[in-house]
Structure 1
């Protein structure tokens, strides 16, 4: 599938779950300026906000048993970060619209159908796997709540300031069930509007660099065939024109990398903080608890796995962009300029163009969190090692 259809499908889903219209074409998906749609969006995000506020209150001033207190802290931190991530994307809606339009157009005429099918498959696998991991984690929290209910306590998934632990009234039960439903809807908004959307954009940019690399590599074969069919001067002129077009596409991809960082940089940076910070807290719950049930252990394990899985999707796909961009220098250098006869005046111009373009491509194309920390494979491994080191330190002090 072409980028146009993939992103349009994503924007349709984002619109349907109430996050607004991110599509750049007017009156194609829907009107998010309608009063009814604005009311739906306001109500939806107000519910998310109040639930997160009650989670924060439960963590700070709530009186709950140790296990529910730990859950309240975990959810308060995680859902606060989720809300910030959602609003960071919503606040950049116009930027995202323009980004989508530009991302679709760049390199579009040179995209290979087989490569596009591979890209679409990878996007589906990444987003579907993340969807399963997130809802697998949520299902474990529901299972633990059901276990508590069967043992004579009350059903609970997320812990909010109201109802209190001792409150087992019908209204309290309704509030707890309603909070669980809100949790599942909020996770859908997070996956589709923020995390899955960000992953899809990163994968698309990666394949744009692959398409550009294939374009430069094809120039050499085309120039060699043109030398056999046409006048060397005409063939050299065509190579120069095609090389300049490739340089313009490369310049546009560099610009789009910066635009992606503006639109989704906060999402990736916050995920970096959430994955490392929350993981330490969750792992300590497993290590220090003497009465942790199997289901309770599984819910914490799934939560930690979901946090690192998403971080891996962000950092590894961002790292792939850096890697694919680094291969452009060699592809540009072997674009065929060396096959141009030395007596042709264009040969000197070609050589200068290739040297300048290769030098530009050798500058590392690295996406950053908070404009400081590189989003690469190395950072992902560094976060995992750092998280384990902090966990081991706290664990040793508490023994």
Structure 2
């Protein structure tokens, strides 16, 4: 009989492994910290696949950037080119940085999932965090592909009105006047390029969001540990001597300090290894919101085009909001640890000076705020999410 599956015993690890496997299939390299067994032949095939997949993205990015040299661009195509030529290279910039940080991300991921789990964990809280994984990943992915769907609808509308090929991206080749089987194949690849690069973006954002949620989960588990320590101490109060109770409490409290140290290490190193994702996203969000507000003002107004632009704006807001909300939850959960430490039951042990000093120092350390930042400057929080939206509109109002 087969034993319990990884999904049942370690749901967070199962979700991360599935996500890293999907990124592997997309040609983004092996990000999983456990060794992936591949034959010599499969390694060579995968190396070729990585070159083909990334070469495909780069070639069509250049095709998109060069389209500004076309003399026949309409005003709408110029507006779309300004948005896409800014957004798409930044999306691929995440992939490039991911390649360079792959080793560190593996190391941090292993510590994040395995580090303190042998000491203390809560399967119930893990399952709740995995549900949060699924909600955030679905929101990010659905919003991203909703943009593609709305752009496709607008492209089909333009096809019937202007009798031009369906277009969702502005590229140098082929232009609307060119036709033929080979040209149609290239047009298909242009559309595939956008879907493919968005798939890459979604998986990277999901990896970063799941890492942030896991950091927040660690602080939740830490609070649970100190709450259970208080219950256990009160239960043992009548059954053990003061000396035995104090020694046992001190040992368990030191374990709690180790768990806190591990949670702080994970928060710091997730920030160091994946902070570029938040930074690029915040910078991109402000710029894209301004660009799309300008498009709403200067472009022709029809229901489908307005819907496509509105969906794009909502996608940017959802992506930024997901990072800001999840990171803000880390700050909140970390701020509650000190209270859980203080009410862990140390006062019923008739603590000596050494235990009192230990508790005071631990509580003081827990009161240092834990922030996740973009560019090391912008704190990711609920309040700053509103500030980003306000600053985007303010910049648009001043510039326009």
Normalised TM-score (structure 1): 0.93
* Residue of 138, 146, 157 corresponding to 2:156: 146
CA contact (8 A) 2:285 2:316 kept: yes
Compute the displacement of 1:202 (Å).
0.7
Q: Verify the 8 A CA contact 1:226 1:235 in the aligned structure 2.
A: yes
User: Which TM-score applies when normalising by structure 2?
Assistant: 0.92
Pair 335,310 (structure 1): closer, same or farther in 2 beyond 3 Å: same
Distance in 2 separating the partners of 1:187 and 1:337: 52
Give, in whole Å, the separation in 2 of the partners of 1:393 and 1:335. 53
In the alignment, does 2:375 pair up with 1:349? Answer: no
Report the CA distance between 1:164 and its aligned residue: 2.8
Look up the match of 2:346.
Answer: 337
2:274, 2:17 → 1: CA distance? Answer: 18
Q: Say if 1:154 and 1:32 are closer, same or farther in 2 by CA, change over 3 A.
A: same
My pick for the range that moved more, 16-25 or 267-276, is 16-25
Out of 278, 300, 323, the residue aligned to residue 309 of structure 2 is 300
SS at match of 2:237: helix
Shift of 1:31: 8.5
Aligned to 1:245: 255
List per-residue Cα deviations over 1:245-280 (Å, max 9, x = no partner). Answer: 111111122111121112111110010010010111
Q: Which range moved further: 167-176 or 381-390? A: 167-176
Distance (whole Å) between structure 1 residues aligned to residue 232 and residue 386 of structure 2: 42
Tell me the CA shift for residue 217 of structure 1: 1.7
Q: CA RMSD in A?
A: 1.9
Q: Which runs of 5 or more structure 2 residues have no equivalent in the other structure?
A: 1-6
Q: CA deviation at 1:327?
A: 0.6
Instruction: Give 1:72's aligned residue.
Output: 81
Query: Is 2:232 the partner of 1:227?
Result: no
Report how far residue 60 of structure 1 moved: 6.1
Aligned length: 389
Aligned mates of 1:380, 1:25 — CA distance in 2: 36
Contact 1:64 1:164 in 2 (8 A): no
Counterparts of 2:228 and 2:267, CA distance in 1: 24
Contact 1:119 1:204 in 2 (8 A): yes
Distance 1:33 1:165 in 2: 41
* 1:28–1:206 Cα change, 3 Å: farther
1:327-359 Cα offsets, whole Å, 9 max, x none, are 111111111111112xxxx53222111110111
2:397 aligns to what?
392
**Which of 372, 380, 387 is the equivalent residue of 2:377?**
372
Residue aligning to 1:53 = 62
Distance in 1, matches of 2:190 and 2:40, equals: 29
What's 1:84 paired with?
Answer: 93
CA distance, structure 2, for counterparts of residue 215 and residue 30 of structure 1: 44
Q: In structure 1, what is the Cα distance between the partners aligned to 2:398 and 2:268?
A: 38
Q: Which residue of 1 aligns with 2:333?
A: 324
CA drift of 1:113 comes to 2.3
- What SS is found at the alignment partner of 2:128? helix
- Distance, in Å, in 2 between the alignment partners of 1:170 and 1:69 is 27
**Structure 1 SS opposite 2:238:** helix
2:294 paired with 1:284: yes
